[in-house]
Amino acid sequence: MMKKIEHLGIAVKNLDQSAKMYEALLGKPHYKTEKVESEGVTTMFFQIGESKIELLEASNPESPIAKFIEKRGEGIHHIAYDVDNIEQEIERLKAEGFQMIHETPKDGADNKRIAFLHPKSSGGVLVELCEEKKV
Ligand code: ZN
């Protein structure tokens, strides 16, 4: 089941510069910076009520974020939904005809297991599913 919008992912060229702008915009500091080596990104998180803003900076030129910015410029990169059972949700979406980029969940930033849907099957919007890791 989808529970809420967990976060919006925003692609930025320079995390330090964008951090200043977002701190001014949101009126609060970020609470976390985290490198996700497997995705070639450095992430920065802001908590806004129940949801978050995730800034994404490429950590190498081959990063999907570098390619996204090259093609489309800075801006909204993906929308992430909080789910309570990510395997079940992947199966449900596949049965609905959606195309998954990740058929099995992988480790993401901020203590999550994640899976992306292909934007071709979701109206041009990159969609991320995320489930909080249970400790
Ligand atoms: Zn995300």
Number of other CB atoms surrounding residue 7 within 10 Å: 25
Q: How far is the CA of 21 from the centre of ligand 1 (A)?
A: 20
Q: What is the structure's pLDDT at 37?
A: 87
CA of 50 to the centre of ligand 1 (A): 15
Cα of 111 from ligand 1 centre, angstroms: 11
How many other CB atoms sit within 10 Å of the CB of residue 131? Answer: 22
Q: Which pLDDT score is estimated for 134? A: 84
The partner residues of 4 in beta bridges, in order of sequence, read 82
Ligand 1 centroid to residue 54 C-alpha, Å: 6
Find the 97 Cα to ligand 1 centroid distance in Å: 22
For residues 99 and 110, what is the distance between their CA atoms, to the nearest angstrom? 25
Q: pLDDT band at 129, cuts 50/70/90?
A: very high
Confidence of residue 126 (pLDDT cuts 50, 70, 90): very high
Torsion angles phi and psi, residue 60, rounded to 5: -155, 160
Interval 17-65: pLDDT, tens: 999 999 999 999 999 999 988 889 999 999 999 999 999 999 999 999 9
Q: How much of the chain, in percent, has pLDDT values that exceed 90?
A: 92
Residue 109: Cβ-neighbour burial (10 angstroms; 0-12, 13-18, 19+): buried
- Does residue 128 contact residue 79 with C-beta atoms inside 8 Å? yes
Calculate how far, in angstroms, residue 58's C-alpha sits from the geometric centre of ligand 1: 13
